[in-house]
Structure 1
Amino acid sequence: MSSAQPPARPLGPELALSENLEAADVLVIGLFSGDDGPTIAGDGLNDTADLLAQLRTVGAKGKADEVTRVPAPESLGVGSVVAVGLGCADDVNAEQIRKAAGVAARSLAGTASAVTTLSTIDLGAAAEGFYLGAYSFTAFKTKNGDDPLAKVTLVSTASDAATTLERSAAIAEAVSTAREFVNTPPSHLYPAEFASRAAALGTGVGLAVEVLDDVALEKGGYGGIYGVGKGSSRLPRLVRLTYAGGDDSAPKVALVGKGITFDTGGISIKPAANMEQMTSDMAGAAAVIATTVLAAKLGLAINLTATVPMAENMPSDTAQRPGDVLTQYGGTTVEVINTDAEGRLILADAIVRACEDGPAYLIDTATLTGAQIVALGNRTPGVMGTDEFRDRVARISQSVGENGWPMPFPAELRADLKSNVADIANVTPHRWGGMLTAGIFLREFVAEGVQWAHVDIAGPSYNTGGPWGYNPKGGTGVPVRTLIAVLEDIEANG
């Protein structure tokens, strides 16, 4: 079965470099706020007095993410100027530049070209922000509004500007690739199709690709993936993407991502309200696939394998039932108390398989629990795992603006997963600490000695509200930037 895959299209604007201002439809600049009024941020403009006076006249304050558009002085060679607020100069960092560029890009829908001096403050952040802010998912729309911003020229005189832009563009494209997967509706992205698209991306950058279908999964003892997926007519898959970027002494890393292409909850069916948002339940898998492809494009000197389980969780006469016992890959038996706690079942199989490769580090990421949103909100991933690596991943996540937060594994919660009929139950009899107990369940399947982090992205991976910063409504691409930054840190420091 094959879906009607929409034709490929650019995922973001063309990004170009220049040492000086170039002709464009719009010039984008930054404004700092201050007690005496706004001031123009960055370099690249010669005479700013008239422009600043004009901006002050129309009420620009320079507050973070404020957008003010005015006609351009004739000397600038552009039609108009968009000034985006950065807030107080002392507080500006890469993430604020990234968000400001995203806000500006979104305001410029329908514009053919822009040139910006935000890049003189932070070229990489500006490039990512413009690319991600201009992203729009229109694959299935027959009547579009304005086209997104088509081209951005970034002003920079830095000696490493070309290298910086190449890396940032690759990262932004990977984030947008994850967004594309998340935003594609389940009618068009089901396990077999998801596996096919992942395999095509992997093959395109020279990765070794292995795909196990439902027959191979059942025969191979992948009881979690097969048990969850057997209730759907669109049967499960397991995809393995391997990147050999280093020699035998290079760090070996495993990535695992939850790929539930749609989640009804199974027999323990979800309420109808907002169930359509479960198109995003494969965001972890999307991020892992995009990151693995990105690692190959960047040529990281590591050895990396992504193990990605894919299933559709449906209620039917073949679906698993509450009270069933399944045998995970590796032999652990699990009592299925709630079929809506399915993500941990497919992840457990994948984690055991990933650990067979002997990685030093393993990161899994998943839209695993509504409890993550209750505990941390819609924009803060929860990071759990072995203490040292958990803290390392969270620290790196915060440094790139995805803001992962380290969470504990209270010892007493493990007892709540006891089962009378199996080795472990898939949920506790209560709802307290649900994000943590899901992580504790996964810990049972991580091999001894593996440095492990589990990143719960139930809220941050899918924006159900209005656009903000460089994030659109829908898929955000979280945590691609965290994952690639961790891989680069492992490459540099082991």
Structure 2
Amino acid sequence: MTRLTDSKNISANEVLVVGFAQTDNGPELLDSAIALEPTSKSEISEAIKLTNFSGKKSELTFLTIKSGVLCVGLGKVSKTQPLEMETLRRASAVAARALAGKSSALFALPTSTTVATHAVTVGVELGAYTFTQFKTKTEKISEGLKQANILVKDLFVNKSVFQEAQIIAESVKNVRNLVNTPPSHMYPETFADYVKKSFKRNAKLTVEILEEKALKKQGYGALIGVGQGSVNPPRFVRLAYKSRGADFHLALVGKGITFDTGGISLKPPSSMHTMKCDMAGAATVIEAFRAIMQLDLKINVSAYAALAENMPSATAQRPSDVVTTFGGKTVEVLNTDAEGRLVLADALGRAQKDKPDLIIDIATLTGAATVALGSRTAGIMANKEEARDQVFASAKETGEAMWPMQIPEETRTILDSKTADIANVGFTPNPAGGMMVGAAFLQEFVDENIAWVHIDIAPPAFNEGAPYGYNGFGGTGVGVRTLVHLAQKLAKN
């Protein structure tokens, strides 16, 4: 639980969290929104001199003063080099994670502005996240920090920004929960049930869930093809929210492969055990939609989640099969492990029926994205540079690592098919530029007059390594904050 407080009094067993700048003369304690007592500041400053703590970004050291003081580094800060909000966000998260199992902590960090309060709130919420649903015996340290109190000068001034930060952080955590849920419990039907239970139809909200018969009848041939090898049939989810007075329509499209074996084009075992995260795109658009709706932004928004389980079996689609997508275009399936682009083709086709002003699809689409950008950066591609740059700007402002990429003309020719309108991969295997080839395929299913952006989150969607910043092991929820921020900019004020 996280709350704001304007009291610098520390209760029994409560850990105090303070921030330090890195200077040439050693670490310097930075003032919080309400300055600590001079004696406390002096005691902390003297104690820190006895450690090797330097104040570099996200560095931690624990002082055994009273019930404990956790010092976190904020890097170099000066009048010419102000504190970056992403640095503050990550530092808050690292501190919250380090306090797992503690009953309470007072975050006395530099929150002199509402923007800083927002950053600390998001950081604390995401840093304290744990996933223990399937643990039969939960150790105290895995429970997370129970109570976080964020020190601010004025509760009223910070109230709305605090509530906004909590809504956004809750949606990110929901994505993490969905991604971290094992495929034994998370498959197309259960994902659709989650949506059904989470969103109730009303005058502003439309909830539509298509099952297998409806998918076949309405022409979702690619989605049916991907899911036909599994005992868990596919689903398609559509949410639509109409805000009074809004004149901009944002469509969010997500890939929802609840588990990806590769199908008949089977993945090697070492590439399969994290494939429960292949529905991260669908989870992201559903939860970004939720946050936009709860924030009551003056924007019309719709979300589309194409859900399937890609399995090998006697009924699975085969390399060289041809499927007919929503809208009528045919695809030669040369590689069943390039299935994400297939279900997105159907979803993009359906999204265009609602005549949006901007379509953004988000997907764990290609391993090639990791080769190109590393394990923490998503790729952004688009049919219009202005739309791509808008997404990139929101990513930078929220601290989500993304990078703009091109869709070169030659990437489309790789997908020429002698049998169908297009192939889902090149006939001759070639790993070069795979991320951009995937985007070139998707672009074929979007009207050139509609602005469209593709975000490949394959690299950062699932953290397999040590915790960093506000991301622990498992699903990260990347993309939610960028999409919500963009919606805020596009919304009619």
- Tell me the TM-score normalized by structure 1: 0.94
Report the residue type matching 1:88 in the other structure: K
Report the residue type matching 2:24 in the other structure: D
| 1:92 shift after superposition | 2.8
Give the 3-state SS of the residue equivalent to 1:179 in structure 2: helix
Q: 1:287 to 1:22 in 2, by over 3 A?
A: farther
Give the 3-state SS of the residue equivalent to 1:28 in structure 2: strand
Instruction: Note if contact 1:134-1:149 (Cα within 8 Å) is conserved in structure 2.
Output: yes
- The residue correspondences of 1:224-239 to structure 2 (distance < 5 A) are 224-239=222-237
Instruction: Note if contact 1:179-1:476 (Cα within 8 Å) is conserved in structure 2.
Output: yes
Q: Return the match for 1:81 from 55, 59, 69.
A: 69
- The residue correspondences of 1:341-420 to structure 2 (distance < 5 A) are 341-385=338-382, 386-420=384-418
Instruction: Note if contact 1:380-1:404 (Cα within 8 Å) is conserved in structure 2.
Output: yes
| 1:451 shift after superposition | 1.2
Please give the per-residue CA displacement for 1:111-142, whole angstroms capped at 9, x wherever unaligned.
11111122525111111111100000000001
Give the 3-state SS of the residue equivalent to 1:317 in structure 2: coil
| 1:66 shift after superposition | 1.1
- The residue correspondences of 1:452-463 to structure 2 (distance < 5 A) are 452-463=452-463
Q: Return the match for 2:111 from 97, 117, 120.
A: 120
1:22, 1:360 → 2: CA distance? 51
Instruction: Note if contact 1:195-1:239 (Cα within 8 Å) is conserved in structure 2.
Output: yes
Structure-2 residue corresponding to 1:469: 469
Instruction: Note if contact 2:247-2:492 (Cα within 8 Å) is conserved in structure 1.
Output: no
Deviates more, 1:42-51 or 1:445-454: 42-51
1:439, 1:210 → 2: CA distance? 27
Structure-1 residue corresponding to 2:441: 441
Q: Return the match for 2:209 from 211, 218, 240.
A: 211
- The residue correspondences of 1:154-169 to structure 2 (distance < 5 A) are 154-158=150-154, 160-169=157-166
- The residue correspondences of 1:270-309 to structure 2 (distance < 5 A) are 270-309=267-306
Instruction: Note if contact 2:237-2:305 (Cα within 8 Å) is conserved in structure 1.
Output: yes
Structure-1 residue corresponding to 2:30: 41
1:382, 1:341 → 2: CA distance? 17
| 1:204 shift after superposition | 8.1
| 1:91 shift after superposition | 5.7
Q: Return the match for 1:153 from 144, 149, 153.
A: 149
Does residue 19 (structure 1) correspond to residue 6 (structure 2)? The answer is: yes
- Tell me the TM-score normalized by structure 2: 0.94
| 1:412 shift after superposition | 1.4
| 1:198 shift after superposition | 1.5
Deviates more, 1:113-122 or 1:91-100: 113-122
Instruction: Note if contact 1:119-1:154 (Cα within 8 Å) is conserved in structure 2.
Output: no
Instruction: Note if contact 1:394-1:403 (Cα within 8 Å) is conserved in structure 2.
Output: no
| 1:469 shift after superposition | 1.0
1:432, 1:34 → 2: CA distance? 45
CA-based RMSD of the aligned residues comes to 1.4
1:33, 1:65 → 2: CA distance? 11
Instruction: Note if contact 2:424-2:441 (Cα within 8 Å) is conserved in structure 1.
Output: yes
Report the residue type matching 2:463 in the other structure: N
2:153, 2:486 → 1: CA distance? 29
Please give the per-residue CA displacement for 1:356-399, whole angstroms capped at 9, x wherever unaligned.
10000110000000000000011111000121101110121111
Structure-2 residue corresponding to 1:61: 54
| 1:110 shift after superposition | 0.9
- The residue correspondences of 1:99-138 to structure 2 (distance < 5 A) are 99-118=90-109, 120-121=111-112, 122-138=116-132
1:46, 1:374 → 2: CA distance? 51
Deviates more, 1:264-273 or 1:144-153: 144-153
Percent identical: 46
Please give the per-residue CA displacement for 1:129-168, whole angstroms capped at 9, x wherever unaligned.
1110000000000111222101111111245201111000
Give the 3-state SS of the residue equivalent to 1:209 in structure 2: strand
Q: Return the match for 1:180 from 172, 177, 180.
A: 177
Instruction: Note if contact 2:2-2:149 (Cα within 8 Å) is conserved in structure 1.
Output: yes
* Structure 1 unmatched runs, 5+: 1-13, 74-78
2:472, 2:294 → 1: CA distance? 25
* Structure 2 unmatched runs, 5+: none
Report the residue type matching 1:36 in the other structure: N
Instruction: Note if contact 1:369-1:456 (Cα within 8 Å) is conserved in structure 2.
Output: yes
Deviates more, 1:35-44 or 1:259-268: 35-44
Report the residue type matching 1:17 in the other structure: L
Please give the per-residue CA displacement for 1:297-322, whole angstroms capped at 9, x wherever unaligned.
10011111101110000001111100
Deviates more, 1:119-128 or 1:354-363: 119-128
